[in-house]
Amino acid sequence: MAASVEFYFDFSSPYAYLATAEVDAVAARHHRTVTWRPILLGAIMKETGARPLAEIPLKGDYMRRDVPRAARLLKLPFRWPAVFPFAAIAASRAFYWLDGRDQTKAKLFARALFKAYFGDGRDVSAPEAVAEIASHVGADKAQVLAALQDAAVKERLKTETEAAKAKGVFGSPFFFVDGEPFWGHDRLADVDRWLAKGGW
């Protein structure tokens, strides 16, 4: 079976949210699945010296216009969260705890988290908010809250973030197709082409 498309993202990245509208469908067209991998981009940005987009003069203004515009084109609900960006530690840990049990459920949780944050503009930084969202995909709230402090779950998130950095991930979303890197939701057309042609 052909390898999955790897989809690295930070839950705090609006461009990752935009990518969620298309990434699975793009891969499915080529009979591929997508492996979702939340990471803490802040840890990587310390190394690259990058700052959050929103803080950069001119670029921040552009992003504030560009993201809702792209969401309209995709017919994706969008609302700037009151708290932006946010540290997606609890959300990412919850994802990996779920992922260890049921990958489909983990992906549903990720979609629900993105929707709550960028679709409804809710604050999803607190463990309670994350557990609440996880409960909507069938997880037990108390178990999720306990999992957020689980050493193995913490370690998994660190390992995945380190692995992403080692593979060259510096932004979100970031895709790999059979090892080939593509950065940005606006490169999904290239991901699609690469999958179709097997390279060029």
If one asks whether residue 165 binds a copy of itself (CB under 8 A), the answer comes out as yes
Report the distance separating Cα 54 and Cα 128, nearest Å.
26
Interface region with a copy of itself, contact rule CB under 8 A, candidates 95-103, 136-144, 155-163, 188-196: 188-196
Q: How far apart are CA 10 and CA 2, in angstroms?
A: 25
Q: Are 174 and 191 in contact (CB under 8 A)?
A: no
Element (H, E) at 6: strand 5-9
Exactly one of 28, 73, 142, 146 binds a copy of itself (CB under 8 A); that residue is 73
Q: Which of 47, 82, 151, 179 binds a copy of itself (CB under 8 A)?
A: 47
CB 11 within 8 A of CB 94: no
Tell me the Ramachandran region of residue 121: left when phi exceeds 0, alpha when psi lies from -120 to 50, beta otherwise. Answer: left
1 or 75: CB nearest a copy of itself? 75
Q: Is 200 in the site for a copy of itself (CB under 8 A)?
A: yes
Binding residues for a copy of itself, how many (CB under 8 A)? Answer: 31
Q: Which residues bind a copy of itself (CB under 8 A)?
A: 44, 47-51, 56-59, 61-62, 65-66, 69, 72-73, 165, 168-171, 181, 183-184, 186-187, 189-190, 193, 200
